[in-house]
Amino acid sequence: MNPESSIPDSLKNLRRTRNKHVLAMLGFAFGLLCTFIGRVLARYEGPWGGRLALALTPFVLVGILALSSRRFYQADELELLINRKALEFAFYAAFFGLFALELFQAAGFVPRFEWTNKRLLVALSFLMISGILWTKRRYD
């Protein structure tokens, strides 16, 4: 037990884990919201101001979440290092992967296809999750 507070350390760790999972679920909900708004915008034919407001709504919500999450959940130094290393891994893997894919497509080994935003987001999300798992394995 920590002498500075009356809350046991195990309860603090449980609360920290819960807050981390709540933020992850909010991030997933943000992805669903963006998908829904994208579908609405594809059919919406109102004034440009309404379309712009709808397009900016998810980003306003992310800003509010970012400001409120600082009180809600604080990452420790190791977690910040893990996230930074994972982002570094995802960036370089995507960069060199796309570079190699372009060369293989130019050589005729891989058929040409068009990268849609959905494919890019899935690929970058997969690389980021892979980087997090790889880095956590190293530091755990």
Which amino acid, 78? L
- Give 87: exposed, middle or buried? Use CB within 10 Å, 0-12, 13-18, 19+: middle
Whether pLDDT at 73 is above 80: no
User: Residues 104, 118: one domain?
Assistant: yes
Q: Is residue 106 part of a domain?
A: yes
Whole domain around residue 22: which residue ranges? 7-71
- Which ranges of 44-76 does DSSP label H, i.e. alpha helix? 48-72
Kindly state whether residues 62 and 81 are assigned to the same domain.
no
Chain segment 115-140, per-residue pLDDT in tens? 787 788 888 888 888 888 888 787 76
CA atoms within 13 A on the CB side of 128: 9
> Average pLDDT, whole number, for the chain?
80
Residues 85, 31 share a domain:
no
Please check whether residue 1 lies inside any domain of the structure. no
Would you place residue 1 in the very low, low, confident or very high pLDDT band (cuts 50, 70, 90)?
Answer: very low
pLDDT score of 50 more than 80: yes
Question: CA 22 from chain center: how many Å?
Answer: 14
Q: Are residues 60 and 49 in the same domain?
A: yes
Higher pLDDT, 10 or 23: 23
- Report, as an integer, the average pLDDT of 20-33: 79
Record the pTM.
0.55
Q: Domain ends where: 32, 50, 71?
A: 71
Three-state secondary-structure class, residue 45: coil
**DSSP 8-state code for residue 94:** H
Same domain assignment for residues 81 and 135: yes
Q: Give residue 138's pLDDT.
A: 75
The amino acid that residue 2 corresponds to is N
Measured CA to CA, the distance from residue 92 to residue 90 in angstroms comes to 6
Determine the residue type at 32.
L
For residue 60, report the phi and psi dihedrals to the nearest 5 degrees: -65, -40
